[in-house]
Structure 1
């Protein structure tokens, strides 16, 4: 008999849910019978998904740079579905360029979103996960979390920070029954950073990972038997060389 867990009825909060990896994850989990709480700065783009979910999805405005928004999203989950089983901290932005290529304001937005925003999101979810007797936290980072290169220095720095956060949380929350996983994909075929160092016409995009690949990884982690945990899942497409 398979030990994989059935996600039917599981309540999963997803940030950055209106596009790319977040949206693909929401659709994947809904197809598996989960109930999803979708956070985004623009919830209007989620109207169709919510309306077609037969009550299994709800969306709330959430700018993860604001602790109050993160707390409100978790409260929405509990109010709607009664509990939180898992958090997918996915929201983030990318600015690819040299150290002097962006304004102070834009770099600060990226730093606040990718690192501080992840912290605010996790802090808002942890009390609910503990109350529920455990659960999962998945932080969607990047292969840049483990290596930096030209035109990615500041972006990679924010992702390096997510590694430290995830490792510490894994040690801190394990005894509470909370598993913490860092999902670290290579370049993915989404609109992430398009116009900020990436272009839609980039020929290499045809060899990138698909957002559905990352959604598959997230679902696989959530389905693990509770007696085990995956701390890091790095992903790269077959067409990409060693990074």
Structure 2
């Protein structure tokens, strides 16, 4: 693989598993140093041992407001700069609204919406000062379709879709690109809430994506010429509509 991100510093939230891990590993392979942000200290250390000094582990609980506010200072302390920020951390609440737990709703909306907004807010001044930067947010196909089996999750991603498109318009003049990836169902821990029969059927039909597939799209977005912004990529398995 061409090392197209050589010399760049990236930070990825929710980096210890799923799309965040795949995105981090794709950027590492492309030559970036990656600040991998997660709550799971043991997993981050294992990834440091696996990939070496290009991995900069950063243990933060993004749902703790005081801890969340330390994101950029700690990134700069470890890496000295930030070129790429992938706001990926998120959670999932599916099923009928009437069956949802209120505390789970609060937690998911906080992580999927509030934390993303705060993280992007906090990294923007650094990127504006440097006159360059890339911000990618993990959204979902659910941001583009009123998915009847996940009204809470879909609503969080609709909010983020609006956030990405409006912030992009505010900061492009500073040399900062903002975009989102909107995958259909991906084989990650977020699918743990799916009914077993639905998950099995999706696997059998080939209607699930792999995290590595999404990471390839992230890398595509990051490596376009600076005069081009990939605003949003909707990706879904070819057999999704079966």
TM-score when normalising by structure 1: 0.92
Shift, 1:198, TM fit: 4.5
- Look up the match of 1:79: 77
Shift, 1:46, TM fit: 1.7
How many angstroms apart in 2 are the aligned matches of 1:117 and 1:224? 27
- Look up the match of 1:44: 42
Structure 2 counterpart SS, 1:14 = strand
- Look up the match of 1:197: 194
How many angstroms apart in 1 are the aligned matches of 2:167 and 2:228? 16
Shift, 1:65, TM fit: 3.0
- Look up the match of 2:229: 229
Structure 2 counterpart SS, 1:155 = helix
- Larger RCO, structures 1/2 (Cα 8 Å, 6+ apart): 1
Structure 1 counterpart SS, 2:189 = coil
Contact 1:67/1:121 (<8 A) preserved = no
Contact 1:64/1:120 (<8 A) preserved = no
How many angstroms apart in 1 are the aligned matches of 2:155 and 2:166? 17
Shift, 1:67, TM fit: 4.1
Q: Which runs of 5+ in 1 are unaligned?
A: none
Change (3 A) 1:191 1:65: same
Higher helix share goes to which structure?
2
Shift, 1:239, TM fit: 1.8
Shift, 1:144, TM fit: 0.3
Q: Which runs of 5+ in 2 are unaligned?
A: none
Contact 1:65/1:116 (<8 A) preserved = no
Contact 1:13/1:37 (<8 A) preserved = yes
RMSD in angstroms over aligned alpha carbons?
Answer: 1.8
Structure 2 counterpart SS, 1:192 = helix
| Candidates 30, 33, 37, aligned match of 2:31 | 33
Contact 2:5/2:32 (<8 A) preserved = yes
TM-score when normalising by structure 2: 0.92
Change (3 A) 1:177 1:68: farther
Shift, 1:150, TM fit: 2.0
How many angstroms apart in 2 are the aligned matches of 1:20 and 1:98? 25
Alignment of 1:160-239 (within 5 A): 160-194=158-192, 196-199=193-196, 202-205=200-203, 207=206, 208-239=208-239
How many angstroms apart in 2 are the aligned matches of 1:184 and 1:151? 17
| Candidates 101, 108, 111, aligned match of 1:110 | 108
Shift, 1:151, TM fit: 2.0
How many angstroms apart in 2 are the aligned matches of 1:213 and 1:183? 11
1:121 pairs with 2:119: yes
Q: How many aligned residue pairs are there?
A: 238
Cα offsets for 1:94-131 (capped at 9, x unmatched):
11111111221111111111111111111121112112
- Look up the match of 1:139: 137
Shift, 1:8, TM fit: 0.9
